[in-house]
Amino acid sequence: MKIKIILHILLICLATNISFGQTPTITSKKAYLNHLETLFEEGRHSYVDIGNKAQLKRIIDAYEAAFEQGVYNSMITSKELDSLLLRVKLGKLWGDYYYLDTDQDTSSFAKAEEAFKYALAVTEDEANARHRDIFYYQFIMHQELGQLYYKQGRYKEAYDEMAAAEMLSSHLYDDDQALDFLAQLAICKARIGRFQEAIDDINEVIGYYKSKKTERYGESLRKKAKILMLQQEGEDIGMANPTQEALKCYKEYFTLKKTDALKRLGSMSAEDREQYWMRTRPFAVDCYRLEDADPAFLYDVTLFSKSLLLDYDPSGKLHDITWKQVQNKLQNGDCALEFVQYEKYDEKQMGALVLKKTGEPQFVKIGKVETIQNLTLPEGDALYDAVAIDSPDLKNQLYSDSINFQFIWTPELLTAIGKDIHRLYFAADGLFHELAIEYMLPNMPELTALKTENLYRLSSTRQLTVKTRTSRKSKVLLCGDIDFFSNSQLATDSNEANFNNDEQAYLHLKSLDLSFNNLPGTKTEIDGIQDIYDSTLITSLTDTLATEQRAAYMIGQHPIVHLATHGYYLGSMAEGTDLMPASYDESLSLSGIVFAGSSKALGSNDFNAEQHDGILSAREIAQMDFSGVDLIVLSACQTAQGYMTDDGVYGLQRSLKRAGVKAMILSLWSVDDDAAPILMQAFYKHMQTEDIHTAFIHAREDLMATKREANRTFNPFRMKGINDSVDFSLPHFSDVFILIDIK
């Protein structure tokens, strides 16, 4: 139901004392108002501190129920100030909820705007609206609208709302809130070209803080640096060298942030660590505007930013890794490269930080992200359509189009890497997370001697400083030939993983009326792998025995894990903002893999979503201990996809790394049922005598050399069972999987 309808009903009920038929449980008006205030504060905590949309929705439901109770019990009437504040706060909570939802659904921008405007209208239209509390919430609603417009890039409207809030700022309750607002206002002024005013405002904020070690002081430095970089991009002549002044601010901020992180992160929960990263994230994105002003500094920022969510050891301690430590791990002929996606001149840009065995890092501009996305493929399609649409024809066009490869691996980038480099370790960012760029090297021998087999994809080049231990003789867990329509008849073993079910993951899939068909080809796949190994090293989970709980437990007990099942990703790329970081709470519920009984659970209208449902979401994986897993292979669809952030793909990749998995083989699009067994069996066969990276490269070569008759069933325009000659060298067969974090 739309927010305005819900609020309209509540207003009518409030004005007419219509009963909702609920039995009042709170008889004291003071207790009633205290209860609602507690709910409101819990809602604010869910929004501001942890960004938990699902929790916020539950609090809103409780708030509405309590509101109805007050109406039923005649504790409030439409004329009271308390009534006005309750309605304003309800509108505020709904606006917060839809604001968080804009990360997944852009239509929620309008819903959030409607909710905030409703709350603002309540404060402005009532006869007794001149009370200080009402003025305060007028300020808050203008500020919220400003943040909402800023997030959409509607900077003039954002400034107008913030200017309206400024007129009411004398009604704020504390100095910290006033300073935070002034810093936000300064950012908005810079966005519309009022740079000197913005600098004056942010200098006033910075000058207020006596201590130079607080988080608020650091944030004001970051915002000043951003204002200065916007000034430089706007070619404003008010300062001789804004970039160098910005660099000083960024470096001071970075020193403060890293010192704080090294001290605090070891004792933080995973959720607190996420929120800490969210507060740091704008800095990591903003400072890339510096480009070649100080590449060594930017390289250290990149390593630090990725460590906040990726660098986990059993103690939780953060490892302070610098570019020099990465450089020390490089051999002659090696190069490390960090791609970075950032914003400059109000456009997304792609760049790269290049580090070789000697010398300092270099920064190379690659180009506008929009330009890369709009590259035209041979048949007229745009590159990004080929990325976003799961079409074999589009994948074949994309990965066969050698002309466009030069817009990714540009001549300038290859020149910076150097012709004498024979092994390249790279970490993707932004759009490049969605592309198998290791298979997209241009044929430019005059610039580079690199070949596909010598490109190594890492989650971060800081991985070069981490020891690896994968053994070819390790125990292997094979999971496949799963019955998705039946539950196991065996009682749950006490050793099986005990974890809370991700109810949101189930509800997302249920709302789409999805079901997962059985995959008979996965039996061939795991049977072939099993024949390669000594039987004493193999554990198999198949049919109804492959339950979610059993798999979650068994994965953590095996150094090598192979899961042949269904994978899914339900989300889309979203953007964040400087003013209020985006929430990632539900993003991990949009990715997952499935096990026995999942389709039965999704097809049942009586299933309790709190029970284990056969759906192992990325959120559930992130809570587990898979630190004993050296390599996990997800032979399933779309397992490399997820919510795109400035620190990587927030889906199965992120959750597996957080769980402690060392290396992964994941898929960028749908996996072909005939090609996957050929590739995977060849991979494990080669791995008996070769390292993992070499085995994977040779397995791809084996697949591409395979020509045979196959039973093709995916084309709806042909009858099932018709035998076709299949060319597995086509990219949509051979380029679907990427290997991550093997050195």
pLDDT per position as a tens digit, 699-743: 999 999 997 665 554 444 333 344 567 889 999 999 999 999 998
Q: For residue 313, what are the β-bridge partners?
A: none
Position 311: which residue type? D
3-state secondary structure of 691: coil
Question: Could you tell me which of 7, 229, 207 has the C-alpha nearest to residue 121?
Answer: 7
- DSSP letters, 311-359, are ---TT-PPP---HHHHHHHPPTTEEEEEEEEEEETTEEEEEEEEEESSS
193 HSE (CA, 13 A, CB side): 5
Indicate the DSSP class of residue 426. E
Same domain, 665 and 727: yes
Q: What is the 3-state secondary structure (H, E, C) of 249-311?
A: HHHHHHHHHHHHHHHHHHHCCHHHHHHHHHHHHHHHHHHHHHHHHCHHHHHHHHHHHHHHHHC
Same domain, 21 and 112: yes
% of the chain with per-residue pLDDT over 70: 83
Helix/strand/coil percent split, the chain, to 5: 50, 15, 35
pTM for the full predicted model: 0.84
pLDDT per position as a tens digit, 325-364: 999 999 999 999 999 998 888 889 999 999 999 999 999 9
Sheet holding 476-482, edge to edge: 362-368, 347-356, 334-344, 423-427, 455-458, 737-740, 663-667, 631-635, 560-564, 476-482, 538-543
- Give the pLDDT of residue 87: 86
Lowest-pLDDT choice from 86-95, 113-122, 501-510, 687-696: 501-510
**Average pLDDT across the chain, whole number:** 84
Final residue of a structural domain among 123, 149, 172: 123
Same domain, 587 and 730: yes
- Give the pLDDT of residue 81: 62
pLDDT band at 13 (very low <50, low <70, confident <90, very high): very low
- Please check the confidence at residue 22 and state whether its pLDDT lies above 50: no
CA end-to-end span of the chain? 52
In a domain, 624, yes or no: yes
- Give the pLDDT of residue 640: 66
In a domain, 38, yes or no: yes
CB 662 within 8 A of CB 468: yes
Q: Which two tokens stand for residue 429?
A: 């960012």
Same domain, 637 and 714: yes
Question: Could you tell me which of 179, 104, 99 has the C-alpha nearest to residue 147?
Answer: 99
Task: Provide the domain count of the chain.
Answer: 3
In a domain, 554, yes or no: yes
- Give the pLDDT of residue 134: 83
- Please check the confidence at residue 16 and state whether its pLDDT lies above 60: no
pLDDT per position as a tens digit, 90-134: 999 999 999 887 866 788 999 999 999 999 998 887 555 567 788
Sheet holding 567-569, edge to edge: 567-569, 591-594, 615-617
Same domain, 36 and 91: yes
Instruction: Please return the burial class of 181, using the count of CB atoms within 10 Å of its CB with bins 0-12, 13-18 and 19+.
Output: buried
Same domain, 415 and 494: no
- How far apart are the C-alpha atoms of 602 and 517, rounded to whole Å? 12
Same domain, 487 and 408: no
Higher pLDDT, 537 or 609: 537
Same domain, 592 and 725: yes
Same domain, 382 and 442: yes
Question: Could you tell me which of 571, 585, 563, 625 has the C-alpha nearest to residue 503?
Answer: 585
In a domain, 152, yes or no: no
- Please check the confidence at residue 318 and state whether its pLDDT lies above 90: no
- Please check the confidence at residue 574 and state whether its pLDDT lies above 60: no
Q: What is the CATH number of the domain that holds 547?
A: 3.40.50
Backbone angles phi, psi at 34, to 5 degrees: -65, -40
pLDDT per position as a tens digit, 213-257: 888 899 999 999 999 999 988 876 565 678 999 999 999 999 999
Helical (H) or strand (E) element with 568? strand 567-569
Final residue of a structural domain among 99, 123, 147: 123
- Give the pLDDT of residue 740: 93
In a domain, 671, yes or no: yes
3-state secondary structure of 557: coil
- How far apart are the C-alpha atoms of 425 and 335, rounded to whole Å? 6
In a domain, 292, yes or no: no
- How far apart are the C-alpha atoms of 417 and 424, rounded to whole Å? 9
Task: Provide the H-helix boundaries in 466-562.
Answer: 503-511, 521-532, 548-555
Same domain, 500 and 415: no
Place of tokens 């501190």: 49
Question: Could you tell me which of 349, 431, 347, 426 has the C-alpha nearest to residue 388?
Answer: 431
pLDDT per position as a tens digit, 135-186: 888 999 999 999 999 989 899 999 999 999 998 888 766 788 889 899 999 9
In a domain, 178, yes or no: no
Same domain, 432 and 453: yes
- Provide the 10 A C-beta neighbour count for residue 704: 19
Helical (H) or strand (E) element with 354? strand 347-356
- Give the pLDDT of residue 132: 73
pLDDT per position as a tens digit, 518-550: 998 899 999 999 999 988 899 999 999 999 999
Higher pLDDT, 389 or 52: 389
- How far apart are the C-alpha atoms of 231 and 248, rounded to whole Å? 15
- Please check the confidence at residue 583 and state whether its pLDDT lies above 80: no
Same domain, 456 and 367: yes
In a domain, 191, yes or no: no
Instruction: Please return the burial class of 175, using the count of CB atoms within 10 Å of its CB with bins 0-12, 13-18 and 19+.
Output: exposed
Lowest-pLDDT choice from 138-152, 367-381, 626-640: 626-640
Q: Please compute the mean of the pLDDT values over residues 425-429 and round it to a whole number.
A: 94
Helical (H) or strand (E) element with 92? helix 81-101
Q: For residue 271, what are the β-bridge partners?
A: none
- Please check the confidence at residue 24 and state whether its pLDDT lies above 60: no
Final residue of a structural domain among 465, 487, 505: 465
- Give the pLDDT of residue 649: 60
Domain extent at residue 407: 323-465
- Give the pLDDT of residue 149: 95
Q: Please compute the mean of the pLDDT values over residues 284-302 and round it to a whole number.
A: 92
CB 615 within 8 A of CB 548: yes
- How far apart are the C-alpha atoms of 377 and 67, rounded to whole Å? 57
